[in-house]
Structure 1
Amino acid sequence: MGGSEPRPSEGSFDLIGVVRAARQGDEQAWGLLVGEYGPRVFALARSRLRDPDMAEEVTQSVFATIAIKLREGTYDEHGKFEPWLFRIAMNRVRDVIRKAKRERAEGRLRLAASAEAVADALADDRATPEAIEGLRAVVEDLSGPDREIIELRYHAGLSFRQIADLLEEPVGTLLARHHRALRKLRAMLEKEPPAVGLAADRPKHAGESG
């Protein structure tokens, strides 16, 4: 093997010659590059991302970039193909990680905004079944009677008269309990809005008073 180009694996192929042939559009040479380096790029991406699907996407993206640069003649890292390839791979991995962090941050903001909107609705007793359904995990943190009135009213869709008949309690008592339960939900949302949907992982507040 000529030049300073490192050998990818002992006795495999003349890397400089393969890269040169791939630049000229030789599909067999391109297949050799992908076969030699594809698994290594994938392993690197998977170790950093811990997601085989994302690692596969990164690998495909890296080799798409390599193909374009080789065939357009923009590759000029003579004698340094491996560092060049893995620099592209690492940059792509970092891009994915940054994007994932940004999406998580945006998701938290959307969740907080959604929680705030629901909290406002709860404050005005304008809660809808859809809104309550989205707060199922938070509802689980309510005490037994409060959780029961929310579930019967919004999950089961019963009227207060039907709930009164079912529980054999006065409608006025149930209305007061319902109002108290909504106040508690709103307070829980205002205290931990980003945790909506993850409340099952938090300690129960069964003894919490209104």
Structure 2
Amino acid sequence: MKRKLIDDAVLVRNYINGDESALSILINRHKQKIYSFIYSKVYDRDITEDVFQDTFIKVIKTLKRGKYNEEGKFLPWVMRIAHNLVIDHFRRNSRMPKFDNTGEFSIFSVLSDSSLNAEKTIIKDQVESDVRRIIEELPEDQKQVLLMRMYQDMSFKEISERTGVSINTALGRMRYALINLRKVIEQHNIVLTN
């Protein structure tokens, strides 16, 4: 008889309660998916390995502090951590998208263009125009904050000073912009990852 797989949620609970082996099972179970996800963003094995390690260091710290409350959605939670660490990596290496002199922006400035073959270039152009179109659909105040934050790399303090609103209002607008972007992306079934 096949042994039933233990749920992620049970393994997380067991780990929090001191069963160290539960974490190894979780890591082994999801390693391939998380590793592939990170690699698809950074295209470098060493960086992928570093981000993967950092992801699980953060997972362990969060679980140990009892701050985990994802209602059994362990993998999406870990993926979010990995995604944020990938963004941190690009920020540290100042390869985050920024405006260039033409005022155009590129979410793909994080990839080296030489690595794009013809097919990827077509996909890249399509996704960029999709993203531009989606951003244009946002209310003006949300669009303004999103563009300043993502493409001009401004802090919320700078955005607050530039727009004359409080930092909390700027944060709120960014939050609503992201919620609205997600809705539009789902409505249009746009896939933003390769």
What TM-score does the superposition give when structure 2 sets the normalisation length? Answer: 0.45
Max radius of gyration: which structure?
A: 1
What TM-score does the superposition give when structure 1 sets the normalisation length? Answer: 0.42
